[in-house]
Amino acid sequence: MCGIAGVMMRDGRPLPDDILEKLANALSHRGPDGRGELNRGDVGLVHTRLAIVDVEGGRQPFVAPDGIALIANGEIYNDPDLRRAFSSVDFISESDCESALHVYRARGHVFTDDLRGMYALVLHDPADNKLVLARDPFGIKPLYYAETAVGFCFASEPQALVAAGLVAPSQKMSVRDETLALQFSTGTATVFEHIHRVAPGETLVVENGRITGRLKHPDVLTGGGAARPDRDALAEFDDIWRETVAAHQRSDVPYGMFLSGGIDSAAVLAMMAQLNDAPVLAYTAAFPGTGAHDERDAARIVAQAAGAEHIELEVSAADFWQNLPQIAAAMDDPAPDYAVVPTYLLARRAAKDVKVVLTGEGGDEMFAGYGRYRAAMRPWPLSKRPFRRSILAGSGVLRRESKRWREGLGALERAVLRAQSTDLGAKSAVLRAAQAVDCAAWLPNDLLIKLDRCLMAFGVEGRVPFLDSHVAKFAFSLKADQKVQGGVGKWIVRQWLAENFPAAAAFDKKRGFTVPVADWLAAEGPRLGPLVARQEGVAEMCLPGQVEALFSDVTARTGQAAWVLLFYALWHQRHMLGQRSQGDVFETLSA
């Protein structure tokens, strides 16, 4: 995993002085192991490297004999297969990303159809003087761009475009409102005016500093296929899961995994334990002395059964108050998901031992683990649409309440429903539609942003084996009752665990992962409320007195609204006003 950025000027104008250096400096945390750049007059590419595969020889940009250059962030898991297919090519490194360059040279703009992996990559083709940007189908690796008056610019993080002076830090208010209502935003627009995301699975073509073409990778989330018995499906899952986890372990540096008390991380650990001779390094967070469920007991049981080296991290209120300003600074594309707190702190701890971490993100989306999926499958009129309520709705803090925050999600739901096939029956189509909505918005714009920014803040690469094209095609070919059975989601994963890793107690009732932010906010609410209320970003959309009232009596019901406002106050101060944190939350908000 690395940082990538670059610029294409309009009308052949030369690059601004020091622009590549500014971009590289802003992305240095993503690639502490080296820098590379390419300046071709009106086009510049920069790469900050986190060395994972071919530590010595994998420096970028890669440049082919015909001059086509590539910079990439991610991993191409089918690189061994691609190298065999291109056996006549003289590869200059052992890096898995180099193969993407040669696939492009052979196939042109549709080259991503042959790539299996997580990636955000950019090529410069000097024959036509064009840039080609591409992002993996799930949006695991981030990529942002802006079209400006002087040209086109892109980067792994929007803050890099702002830090380099290429885009001004102004807000798109509709995206702000959507983000605070849902804790993520839909579509390609970001909260930064003029900065957009490359969509998951999208390829952009840029000429003379302007986008001239867009292509979409074939959707891996609408797979059909013939129904098969449960035993056959389980055997198929075992084969796919073994091969996928093995591919995701491929690394020339130490790796570990994040372990909760849940099904998804247990499945990752179970297969890693089968594939590794040495004990797997497993990291678990806990919140002692709070009302949050302590997952350590369940995690210890599965870690011991797998022979893992289990490292437990206790997260306290003091950790929360001290680190939240830095967490908000890392989350430049804001996703006010309270799981950023343990993820950030676990990443900091893991960075002492490893450079790669496997996680269970995507298991719920691929195999229907959320209760909202079961609600969507109920027959009318009992069925329910997900995300029907804004986090801030009814809190009384907003100067003006609007339901426009749901327009993007509603449009996405309608589009996905129209696209779903009923080849496996209406119930399966409804379920797949609900999963596909999450995969198009919630997953890339909340969970994966959180994982990327928190890990990359410490130069650690996150890998998500559930979000693999082979796993996805299998999952989306299953019948509904092979994912949801007896009111329980992820049935086939649970059944696989029950047979292969009984210690996971796969069919026991599991408690959802929570972070005790409401407890922490309640303890300091009266002190915190006035500080949040007077922050410029909060004051322009909220009634200060109502904000103070909200914080003066934080409960389990109002805790999420208070959390979102606190996170946004810190985020706005850093990313819109450009103020650096001045210590803990209270010191930062008092500055």
Cα distance between residue 227 and residue 371, in whole Å:
24
CB atoms within 10 A of CB 214: 12
Stretch (H or E) spanning 326: helix 317-330
Q: Residue 170 above 90 pLDDT?
A: yes
Residue 111: the pLDDT is 97
Give the tokens for residue 414: 């309608």
Segment 57-61 mean pLDDT: 89
CB atoms within 10 A of CB 316: 13
Strands 151-155 and 3-9: antiparallel
Residue 425: the pLDDT is 57
Residue 241: the pLDDT is 98
| Higher-confidence position of 493 and 476 | 493
pLDDT cut 70: percent of the chain above it? 96
Q: Residue 222 above 70 pLDDT?
A: no
Residue 213: the pLDDT is 97
Q: Do domains 3-216 and 230-374+446-504 have the same CATH topology?
A: no
Cα distance between residue 319 and residue 345, in whole Å:
9
pLDDT band at 225 (very low <50, low <70, confident <90, very high): low
Residue 384: the pLDDT is 61
53-62, 101-110, 135-144, 465-474, range with the lowest pLDDT: 53-62
Residue 487: the pLDDT is 86
The sign one gets for the Cα dihedral 429, 431, 437, 438 is: negative
Segment 345-366 mean pLDDT: 97
Q: Please state the pTM of the whole predicted model.
A: 0.96
Q: Which of 165, 119, 126 is nearest to 146 (CA)?
A: 165
pLDDT cut 90: percent of the chain above it? 80
Which residues make Cβ contacts (< 8 Å) with residue 583, sequence separation at least 6?
322, 325
Class of domain 230-374+446-504: alpha beta
Segment 323-334 mean pLDDT: 98
At 431-453, the pLDDT tens digits run 888 898 999 999 999 999 999 99
Give the tokens for residue 346: 């676990």
pLDDT band at 224 (very low <50, low <70, confident <90, very high): low
User: DSSP class of residue 429?
Assistant: H
Q: Length of the chain, please?
A: 591
At 254-283, the pLDDT tens digits run 999 999 989 999 999 999 999 999 999 999
* Secondary structure class of 507 (helix, strand, coil): coil
| Higher-confidence position of 546 and 54 | 546
At 376-410, the pLDDT tens digits run 787 655 556 655 689 998 899 999 988 889 899 88
- Residue 265 burial class via C-beta count within 10 angstroms: exposed 0-12, middle 13-18, buried 19 and up: buried
Segment 138-164 mean pLDDT: 97
How much is the mean pLDDT over the chain?
93
Q: Would you say 209 and 13 are in contact if contact means Cβ atoms under 8 Å apart?
A: no
Segment 355-365 mean pLDDT: 97
Each domain of the chain, given as residue ranges in start order, spans 3-216, 230-374+446-504, 517-590
Segment 18-42 mean pLDDT: 95
Give the tokens for residue 566: 């606190």
Residue 374: the pLDDT is 86
Cα distance between residue 574 and residue 582, in whole Å:
11
Which residues make Cβ contacts (< 8 Å) with residue 56, sequence separation at least 6?
none
Residue 380: the pLDDT is 57
Q: Residue 424 above 60 pLDDT?
A: no
Residue 582: the pLDDT is 80
Give the angle subtended at the CA of 268 by the CAs of 264 and 428, to the nearest 5°: 45
Residue 220: the pLDDT is 74
Residue 330: the pLDDT is 97
Stretch (H or E) spanning 564: helix 559-575
* Secondary structure class of 69 (helix, strand, coil): strand
- Residue 585 burial class via C-beta count within 10 angstroms: exposed 0-12, middle 13-18, buried 19 and up: buried
Residue 364: the pLDDT is 96
Residue 305: the pLDDT is 97
Q: Residue 38 above 90 pLDDT?
A: yes
Residue 57: the pLDDT is 79
Segment 36-42 mean pLDDT: 95
Residue 223: the pLDDT is 60
Segment 205-225 mean pLDDT: 85
Cα distance between residue 394 and residue 389, in whole Å:
9
User: DSSP class of residue 516?
Assistant: -
Q: Would you say 65 and 144 are in contact if contact means Cβ atoms under 8 Å apart?
A: no
At 65-117, the pLDDT tens digits run 999 999 999 999 999 999 999 999 999 999 999 999 999 999 999 999 999 99
CATH code of domain 3-216: 3.60.20.10
